[in-house]
Structures are given as C-alpha cells and as structure tokens.
Amino acid sequence: MIIKTKILLGLVIFSFYNVLNAQVRTTYTFEKGWKFTREDNTESFQPGYNDTKWQSVIVPHDWAIYGPFGIDNDKQITAISQDGQKEAMEHAGRTGGLPFVGVGWYRLQFEAPSFTKGKRATLIFDGAMSHARVYVNGQEAGYWPYGYNSFYLDVTPYLKEGAPNILAVRLENQPESSRWYPGAGLYRNVHLVVTEDVHIPTWGTQLTTPVVKDDYAKVNLKTKLVVPTDKNFDKYRIVTDLLDKNGKVVATNEKQGTRFDDNTFSQELIVTSPALWSPETPNLYQANFKVYEGDVLKDEYSTTFGIRTIEIIPDKGFYLNGKRTVFKGVCNHHDLGPLGAAVNDAAIRRQIRILKDMGCNAIRTSHNMPAPELIKACDEMGIMVMAETFDEWKATKVANGYHHVFDEWVEKDLTNLICHYRNNPSVVMWCIGNEVPEQWQGGTGAKMSLFLQDICHREDPTRPVTQGMDAPDAVVNNNMAAVMDVPGFNYRPHKYQENYKKLPQQIILGSETASTVSTRGIYKFPVTRQWMKKYDDHQSSSYDVESCSWSNLPEDDFIQHEDLPYCIGEFVWTGFDYMGEPTPYYTDWPSHSSLFGIIDLAGLPKDRYYLYRSHWNKEEETLHILPHWNWEGREGEVTPVFVYTNYPSAELFINGKSQGKRTKDLSVTIDNSADSVSIMNLKRQNRYRLMWMDTKYEPGTVKVVAYDKNGKAVAEKEIHTAGKPDHIELIADRNRIEADGKDLSFVTVKVVDKEGNLCPTASHEITFKVKGVGTYRAGANGNAASLESFQNPKMKVFNGMMTAIVSSTEQSGKIILEATGKGLKKGILNLESVSENVK
C-alpha cells in the first residue's frame, strides 16, 4: 500500500517521500526534501558539502518555467532548411524564451530503512533534463545524456545501511540543443527500489496476447530473474496470478526454473471471456508475480496489461481487436503549458479528457519518450499511443542535438523505451524518428531505419514501427519508406496517392498533419486562404484558413483519410499549443510559443477544436458558431460566419433575418478540389464546414438552426453581442481534488456582461487569491506573445478568458478562489480537497 512517510534523519532536516512497502520489495519515490542551485560548484557532489543556502524544491521540478522570459535565452541564429529557409536568421523564441540553458544541481539527504546487508538497490529516473551525472555518497553512480528517457542505475555499492545517504545530480542543458522548449531539471519522478539479491529487474516482465478469441485469450509471460553468481536458477519458482479490474483472480500458473531457461521464466495462462482493451473500453488486467526459493518469498512484482490485438492489413488499414480503426490522433509535446515540463498527473488527465471529448483516440509523443504518467493515463482512459523516440539521428538538426551521442546511446535509449512500455496496451506503435536529415542521404536512411526497426522488433515483436518523414519523393525513391512496417508521412497529403502506388506496404499513415495556425478569439479580414501570414499583433486568424508554407488546412487531411481506404489515419500537429516554435513569427519577439494547437497553451479550445469534433466525434452534438459578434466599427462590413457541426445542413439568422441555408457539399472529392483555384476558393472546406461568406455585421444576435439528413430541425444555438464587462465567472474542471499536495483544479476565468455573455475583446488584469487548504499554482491566457509570469497570481485575460490553476495541499478541507479586476464584480469559486482519490 502507499503511505505517507516522514523520516527524521538525525538532523534538523526532514526528508519526505512516498514509500511503497512490501515484504521483500520497497519502492521510495523521492519528492520533498530536495535542495537545488544553478551554481556549478565542482564540490557539490561531496557528502559534506554545505547546501543550506540552496533553494528547497519539490520534484518533479522544472527550473526554467519560473522565467523570466528573455530574448537572449537560447537565441538561435540558423536557417531551418525544412521550413524553406535559405539564410540564417535570428530565432529568439524558438525554444520558448525561458532560461533552461545551463547547469543545475540537486541534492537529497535520505534514508532507506529497508536496505540491509544482502539487499540490492536500484535508482530509477523517469526523466532528467539533461546529461545527468548521478552521485551517491560522493561516488559517481552513472551518467545518462538523453533528457527524455527513463533510466536506472544499480546503486547497491554506494548506499549506506542504517545511515543517512546523499544523492546528488548534476544536469546540464546546452544551447541550441532543441527545436522547442525542453524544460530543465528533475522534471519527472525519482525512485529508489530495494529488493533481495534475487529479484525481478526493472522492466523485467514481458506479456503478450498472441491468441484472442471471444471466449478466451492466451497470455504469454516472460519474467527475467537476477540471480547471484553463486546460485542456480533451478532453485527458484514463480507463481503468477492474473487479476481483472475488480481484483478477482482469473488465471494462475506456477513454474519451476531449470538450468536451460537462461534465467527467464516462460508461462502461458488462459483468460476466459476476456474483457478487451480499446479506446471505448479501456479494460485492464494486473499480473502479480511471486518468486520463491524453496518456500521463502524472494520477490513480488506487479505489471498492468491489457488484452487486445493489433493488425495492419494492406489496402484495408489498421485493425484493433479485429475492427478497422482510423487514427484520429494528435501530436503533443511534453510540456504542460504554464506548468512547464514538470510532470503532473492531473494536468495530463485533463488534457486527455479534453482530447477525448473532441473525438481524439490517439496521441503521438512527439518527438521524444513519454512520461510514465502519460502512458498510465492513456491505459486507463482509453487513448492509443504512438511512442516516439528521437528528433535527430546522426545528421545534425541543431548544433548540440542527439547526433553527438547517437552512436553510443541510441540502442540503449531505444531499448529502455521499449522495455519500459511494451506491456502497456495503449502503446500500439513505436516511432523511431522525426524528419531526420538522413531522408536525403541516399541509402543511408534506409539502412539506419532498418537498424533501429530491428531493435524494436527484437525487444517487442508485437507492434509495428514507423517514423515521420517529410520528404516523400526522396524516401519513396531511396526505399527509406519501403523498409518501415508503417510508412509515416508528415504533411504533403497531395502525395498520398502517388506514394501508395510505389510502396509495398500498401498503406499510408499521416504521421504529422495540418499545421494550421490560429489564435483563440482572433479573426482577420478579409477571410482568404493564407500561407505564412504575419500581423502586427503576432497572432493568426481563428477562421482557420491560415497555414505554413509546407502545411495545409484540416480538410486537406480529412478528405484523404475519409476517401482512401489505405489511409490509416492522422496525427494532427498539434493537440495543444506548446512553448517554442512560434511559426510564422520566427524572428518576431516576443512571440515564443506555438500557434499550431487545436487547443491553446491555457488548455482552452480554439474554434478549430469544434471543426475536428464535428468530424471525429459523431456520438455527440457539435454546433459551433464563429466569429464572436462584437465588432464595433465594422457595422455594415462583410463579416463571414462559419458553423462547425456534425449535422449536414443549417440555416443562419442575424437579428431574426435569414441569411440562407447551407448544406455540406458531398460532391467535393480529392481530385476535383486539388487545383489552385479550388484551394483559394475553399472548395474542400465546403464539404466539412458551413460558411456564409457575405454576411454583414450588425450588433445583436446570431442564430443557427441545424437540420438532420431528413431536413428536420434538430438543434439551434445563439451568440450575442456582449455588453459592458460586468463580472468575473469562474468554472472549475473539477470541484473536488485530492489532498495530496499535487492534485490540481483548472479554473476557466471569463469576463462576462450582466447576462453572462463572454466579453470577447476584454483584456482586464485579474488578481487571484486562494484561501483555505489550497495554493495558487499557475495561470495562462493563451497569448503566444505574452511575457507575463505564469506563477504570479495576476494576469490579463486574453480575448476575455484565461485559466487559473489551484493546487491542493496535504490537508483536507475547503478551498476558496477569489478573482478581482478593475471595474468588475468579484468572482468566487468554492472547491473541496478530500483524502480519497478523485481522478
């Protein structure tokens, strides 16, 4: 069971951590008690070093998210060739404008009471950014350069029994080592696992389900065992129980080791009437392992898994549990907006809830290894995962990128990822790279692709392997695409049909699509198709008609994946806005975060969210009107109105006067909408959007009435011209949170008029105060050019809205959030912090 533990180390300092107790295995998760500094003192690893003046922090910790923003933070002078840049230019906000470059030291004093003579100790880092050098009691225990990967170290020789220990970690982020904001520090969890000398190693189990029928499933298990050199494997036996979601044992098996087993137990168990895992029904099982030497228990270990099948059939697509399944996916970077890279379970689960409501069923972890919390949440909530690895191989994309360590570390990194997540049912595909320059290096790209894919197959023969390639002509001609299990293409959907004819796999994956740019609540006139369009306010139009030079609009992907049976789906760039890559504002500080997201940096859906929802989520009604209807000074001017809906047609009214009925044009095809005139006239959009291009603005009410396929009016919606800003409205994503000091409530903050209509041009500064057993954690408004501090409990709303984040403490009770702004009535929100899990 998980219990809170507070251990006095014989000093004034206390160390707090979670500890998972078992008879033979103990896991400590180190959270509190850490000391941190940005000073790089070469003596910082010594046990007796005086760290009393260092900052006290809680891990996970991202040192850079606290800012301040600055134009010189990792300013890169470069030409991004894949974006078509021919000459080097200044990229001030390419990596977010936050101070992640440099050195950081962490120190922790701890005891491990369960560590006694004959025990083994393993230190596990879920992620440390980056070039981690780990010291235990003054001795270097290990080094791991790649900041996104999980790794573990045997620290048995360095630990002290029954005495305080000192853990020190030096991290260093080099300039020009990333293309986006990577975060900094011990941004994921750190664990210590104490076991017997005979034990199941980290990620030492592998479960597969080779046969799945309606009435039974075969579960094959391979369990490694670490055995001291003076003992034999045939002295040990394993007892394995499989439990369903209710904790009921549904299968059991006992196996005695033999000297022919290479220290690995192989078992086969039968589960009758299996409950399958899918995005719609994320059923999970648990395998509990007990290892005995005679009748003496030596180890206990648990692995969560799911029963499901995956298959890719040429010309037909991707099949999950025998059912054709199309990827309705998004690419997401790892940062959590105003929380930075520091992993947080509540923030991850909020993102997944928002995505699933949109109809999303998959996430690509672009362009790096995911956090364990993300994979666990995807398992439990029902999201398929393309687990990605690298943005760079041996050829250079950034000056201090992964190419420096590729030769020595790529197999280690890839093996760690696969062994870590190969039992998770949500992971359905491995991705070995993204837009690597080897695409243009003749046969080199194909050979290296095979090398990496073979590692994936060696460690996990059950999942297909892909990569994101953005040079379709090159990779088709040099066979780099042909050698992959699944050829993944980034952008250029107009090449799909041509590529399909040349590829032996006879399938196409849109591994990265769209890259449409927009800003929540910003609309530009006239409404015309634009590429790389820039404005004085550093924003992009939410009419969803603007993209980058290499990219396209959502409908250019919709039509391919809907009409071509060999297309297995897409991963949109991106689900959420992220820090860094402020395209098209490469050189235009203070732009420092992306505009690609379907959802903004504050977690607030843009208009585009409802376009995807109307196409992906057929189970729920979508009826969304844009733009807002506060256009003082535009009276009588053409102000187009778009409606995103899953209904086939709708009629628009402005102040009661019909503007006509529109019906989605299903006669539009891939071929008859691909010419330049059709593109400029938004012909393809007519199949998926309802557009009134000639409506004129007059204050009042915009109403839409939607009709089903039989012409029956089935839904309606109105938006109104908002009056004078009157008060602050606060809406929590969850009103009850867990009193664990980590859980979060995300509060949508709106400036509204007396009738409760959003004031869409409001920019009031809002001040927040938290009373009771909670704290103010952070805030964000979705403005990609705002330099306001995320942590300061004061921020301007952007286009009438922002998000405030309230954290629990370790006390149960009431939390009150107050929000005030000049000229506005106060907003008050009551929350509750409780002792039980309320995910």
Beta bridge partners of 654: 657, 702
Active-site annotation holder among 435, 570, 729, 832? 435
- Tell me which of 111, 176, 373, 512 is the catalytic residue: 512
Structure-token pair, residue 365: 């972890």
Nearest of 770, 803, 806 to residue 788 by alpha carbon = 803
Q: Which two three-digit tokens encode residue 16?
A: 């707090």
Helix 607-616 vs helix 345-358: angle between axes, to the nearest 10 degrees? Answer: 60
Rounded to whole angstroms, how far apart are CA atoms 439 and 469? 7
As a whole number of angstroms, the distance between CA 390 and CA 149 comes to 10
What six digits make up the tokens of 31?
């959270």
Q: Based on the number of CB atoms within 10 Å of its own CB, is 620 exposed (0-12), middle (13-18) or buried (19 or more)?
A: exposed
Q: Is the dihedral of CA 518, 530, 333, 586 positive or negative?
A: negative
Helix/strand/coil for 307: coil
What distance in Å separates the CA atoms of residue 125 and residue 155, rounded to the nearest whole number?
13
Amino acid residing at 12: V
Q: What Å distances lie between residue 47 and 12, 134, 139, 172, CA to CA?
A: 16, 13, 9, 21
Q: Which of 119, 123, 286 is nearest to 219 (CA)?
A: 286
Question: C-alpha angle 438/441/445, rounded to 5°?
Answer: 50
User: The tokens of 3 are what?
Assistant: 């219990």
Would you call 408 a catalytic residue per the annotation? no
Which of 414-426 are b and which e, b meaning 16 or more Cβ less than 10 Å from the residue's Cβ? Answer: bbbbbbbbbbbbb
- Characterise 424 by phi-psi region: left (phi > 0), alpha (psi -120 to 50), beta (else): beta
Q: Mark out the alpha helices in 650-696 (DSSP H runs).
A: 676-680
**Exposure b/e, 289-318, CB count within 10 A at least 16 = b:** bbbbeeeebbbbbebbbbbbbbebeeeebb
**3-state SS assignment for residue 203:** coil
Q: Are 49 and 43 in contact (CB under 8 A)?
A: yes
Looking up tokens 């990822």, which residue turns up? 417
Q: Which two tokens stand for residue 208?
A: 């597969």
CA gap 493, 736 in Å, rounded: 44
Cα distance between residue 794 and residue 818, in whole Å: 12
Give every CB contact of residue 228 below 8 A, 6+ residues apart in sequence: 197, 198
C-alpha dihedral (760, 764, 769, 770), degrees to nearest 10:
10
Token pair 């979060």 in the structure block, residue: 744
Q: Is the omega angle on the peptide bond into residue 574 within 30 degrees of 0, that is, cis?
A: yes
Locus of tokens 């950081």: 104
Other CB atoms closer than 10 Å to residue 627's CB: what's the count? Answer: 24
Task: Clarify whether 435 is annotated catalytic.
Answer: yes
Closest CA to 135 of 166, 172, 171, 104: 166
Sign of the dihedral through C-alpha 608, 611, 616, 622: positive
CA distances, 100 to each of 183, 696, 700 (Å): 6, 48, 48
Q: Which two tokens stand for residue 102?
A: 């440099």
Residue 90 burial (CB < 10 Å; 0-12/13-18/19+)? middle
Q: Which residues participate in catalysis according to the annotation?
A: 435, 512
